[in-house]
Amino acid sequence: MTRAALVIFDNDGVLVDSERLANGILAELLTEAGLPYTLDEAVRDYMGGSMVSMRLKAEAMLGSALPADLEDRYHQQLFEGFAHLQPVPGVREVLDRLDADGTAYCLASSGTHRRIRTALATVGFWDRFEGRIFSSEDVEHGKPAPDLFLHAASTMGVKPDDCVVVEDSPLGVEAANAAGMRVLGFAAMTDPAKLSTATAIFTTMDELPELLDQV
C-alpha cells in the first residue's frame, strides 16, 4: 500500500478520538485559573503540544503561575472521560492494511506515556503499538521541534526521508517538516489552512491508504 518504510502516527485525534474531550477539559481548567478559553480557542492554541509547552504559553498570557495541580486535575478528568473513548473512524482499517502489507508503523505523541497507554488500551490498540510508542517525555524538546520524530525513526532504524508522518496539528506538521519527513495533514478537526505546509491534506481516514501510496 505504501512506499514509506515507516509510518509514524500521532495519537490524539489521529488514532483515538480524544481531541474534543481533552481540549474541552483544558479550556475549563484555564478559565477557572483566570484565563478564559473556549474549546475552539484551546484547539487553536494548544492542540498537538505538550503540557509543558501549554503551561509556558498560558502563564505568559496570564502573567502569573497556573495552579500547581492543574496537570493532575486535567489528567484525572481526561482519564475519567477515556472510559467512553473510541478510535478515530476508519483508522482501524488503515492499520489492518499496513499489517497486511508488512509496512512498519509506530506512534509519536506529545502526550505522556501514561496517557498514551490508557488511550490505546481503551480502544484496543495497545497490542498493535506496544514497544513502538514514543512520547514527548522521551526527548528534551517536544513538537514543533523535530526531536520526537527523529527519535522514533532512529529507534525504529529508518532514515527520516523514508518516513511518512500522519498528523492533525500545526505543531506536528511543523515538527515533521523540521525532521525532513513527508507529512500527511488530517483535517477532520483542524482548519486545513493551518496544515498547509503538509505534503498533502485529507479529511477522512478512507483517503489515507491512497495518499500513503502516492507520497
Contact 215, 209 (CB under 8 A): no
Rg of the chain in Å (alpha carbons): 16
Question: Interhelix angle for 147-156 vs 170-178, to 10°?
Answer: 60
Contact 166, 215 (CB under 8 A): no
CA 193 to chain centre: 18
Percentage helix, strand, coil for the chain under 3-state DSSP, each rounded to 5:
55, 15, 35
Output the pLDDT for position 215.
87
Residue 1 has pLDDT above 80, yes or no: no
Of 31, 116, 40, 128, the C-alpha closest to 79 is 116
Output the pLDDT for position 75.
92
| Sheet strands (E) in the chain | 6-9, 104-109, 133-135, 163-167, 182-186, 200-202
Q: CB burial class (10 A; 0-12, 13-18, 19+) of residue 96?
A: exposed
Q: Tell me the C-alpha distance between 175 and 170, whole Å.
A: 9
The three cell numbers of residue 118 are: 490508557
Residue 51 has pLDDT above 60, yes or no: yes
Output the pLDDT for position 2.
56
Q: What is the pLDDT of residues 167-211, one digit of tens each?
A: 999 999 999 999 999 999 999 988 999 999 999 999 999 999 999
